[in-house]
Structure 1
Amino acid sequence: MKANRMEAFSDGVLAIIITIMVLELKVPEGHEWHSLVSLAPKLLSYLFSFIYVGIYWNNHHHLLHAVHTMNGKLMWLNMLLLFWLSLVPFSTAWIGESHFAPTPTALYGIVLLLASVSYWLLQRAILGQHPSDSAILAAMGKDFKGKISPLIYLLAIVTAYLNAWVSCFFFALVAVLWFVPDKRIERVLLRKAN
């Protein structure tokens, strides 16, 4: 199996996740702009989740270019990542329905935390295929974003019980950190191609 097959499967799963999320948005009863006000929590939770799924899709695409050899370990770690991401529509719907109540907001953070840990494990396994002096490992550096993100998610989980909007600030902070796709791998591959 080649990495492009795993990437295609992952792309399909992520497309389904986005489709499920948008199908959770129900049309309001009224026909005026103010009818959308009651949907604001659902629209906000959808926006957060859409951005997160997009971030994972972008970074996953870049990461898979570093695969040397596809193996069962990588496939199962990828499935673990997809499992946690597949729970995003459920947690998105719950925080939207509950208007960001503490427990649904904390669960949303737990799902995002476990997805980030899964991504980190997949990244470590892929980078483990490279020699210690490789350009890819040097480019990845200390991986500040990868290390700080789980800590911010933990803060979001804890603060969900104190103030859900502070928790949302932490979710937004991680999204801002990762919004621009991680180009470190791409730069190394471009240098090798030239």
Structure 2
Amino acid sequence: METNRFETFFDAIIAIIITVLVLKIPQPTTPTLAGIMELNTMYMGYLISFLILYNIWYANHDLFQLVDEINNRAVWIYGVMTFVISLLPYFTIWVAYNTNSVPAETMFGLIFILTHILTTLATIEVYKANPYNKNLQETNLNSRLMNAPLVLLIIGFILTYTVYVPGIYVTCLISIVLWILIARYLKGDNSGN
């Protein structure tokens, strides 16, 4: 499949999910700073989910600039990823309303973990489908550093199930920032070649 058509489709899906996500944030109960601050967990949940979606979009944009085609296996992985990220608005609002709920924290963390794993698998599949693409092979997108956020999330699960229930929520924020920084660092290493 040509990446132009697929990238347009995937971009539209992410734009729709971000739109649904922001529409799920309720209006403040009062038009005051205190009313806005009552929704701080909503804003934080939105920030985490937005950064996840933005990072997926940006990484795919960079990846699809290097390849002209992807195979059916990559399309199927992206299809599963589309399903998983389409659940983000639901679980974001659930965890924002219930930051001290182990089930809400768990589901939010699982969505993040599945998204990370599917992004990694999709990237690997695109690499496999383009073995002779010199520009793609010179990139370092398969670096083991990209798994650091996953390790941090596992720590979040341990925290949530032992001493600090919002542990997953907090480590999701730290993980997505780390995921973005690592990707930019690796991209910076490649631009010097």
Common fold by TM > 0.5 = yes
Q: 2 CA distance for matches of 1:126 and 1:119?
A: 11
Code of the aligned partner of 1:164:
V
Q: In structure 2, what residue type is equivalent to 1:182?
A: A
Q: TM-score, normalised by structure 2?
A: 0.85
1:49-84: CA deviation from partner (whole Å, max 9, x where unpaired): 111111111111112233353322121111111111
- For 2:111 and 2:141, the matched residues in 1 are separated by 26
Equivalent residue, structure 2, for 1:43 = 43
Structure 1 gap segments, 5+ residues each: none
| Matching residue of 2:65 | 65
Structure 2: runs of 5 or more not aligned: none
Pairs within 5 Å for 1:103-114: 103-114=103-114
CA distance in 2, matches of 1:66, 1:10: 17
Give the secondary-structure state (helix, strand or coil) at the position aligned to 2:66.
coil
User: In structure 1, how many angstroms separate the alpha carbons of the residues matched to 2:11 and 2:130?
Assistant: 25
In structure 2, the residue corresponding to 1:128 is in which secondary structure?
helix
Contact between 2:21 and 2:89, CA under 8 Å: does it hold in 1? Answer: yes
Percent same amino acid among aligned pairs?
20
DSSP-derived class of the 2:38 partner: helix
Aligned ranges 1:97-176 → 2 under 5 Å: 97-131=97-131, 134=134, 136-140=136-140, 143-162=143-162, 163-176=164-177
Secondary structure of 1:30's match? Answer: coil
- 1:107, 1:182 → 2: CA distance? 25
Distance 2:55 2:127 in 1: 20
Distance 1:23 1:151 in 2: 32
- Give the superposed CA RMSD: 2.7
Map of 1:23 onto structure 2: 23
Q: TM-score, normalised by structure 1?
A: 0.84
Secondary structure of residue in 1 paired with 2:129: coil
